Amino acid sequence: MTITIYHNPKCGTSRNTLALIRNTGVELEVIEYLTHPPSRTKLVELIAAMGVSVREVLRKKGTPYEELHLDETTWSDDDLINFMMAHPILINRPIVVTPVGTKLCRPSEVVLDILPLPQLKEFTKEDGEKVIDAEGNRVAHTS
């Protein structure tokens, strides 16, 4: 079984997602996409596998999104992908690929929907929010 995460170790959501995957006991491939960005072909495949628009994969916060005026509707999907290739920080993260599916895991607990194995123990996110209880069950949150 292969699980891959396109990860940014400086991102709390990405770190929490990675920890949730590891909480299943499975080994995975961690790709630090800022230093090893996916090829254009791979990025297009990931977006298609997630079933989302190219714009949904664009990250705004902490990126050159505004300076590049990427909110303008004149940019085509190809243009936006070119920007992501030139500036990998524009690729929102983390993207996780499992045998069950591919998702942009924001918030981090979205990864639970595509993990093929159960959680092994309690899990609390870095901000103190409990996600998995002592029995390995997902904690329901009301928001």
Distance, first Cα to last Cα, the chain: 34
Token pair belonging to 31: 């790709």
Is the Cβ–Cβ distance between 6 and 34 less than 8 Å? no
Catalytic residue among 5, 11, 96, 104, which? 11
Residue 105 appears among annotated catalytic residues: no
SS (H, E, C) the chain: CCCEEEECCCCHHHHHHHHHHHCCCCCCEEEECCCCCCCHHHHHHHHHHHCCCHHHHECCCCCCCCCCCCCCCCCCHHHHHHHHHHCHHHECCCEEECCCCEEECCCHHHHHHCCCCCCCCCEECCCCCEEECCCCCECCCCC
Q: Looking at the annotation, which residues are catalytic?
A: 11
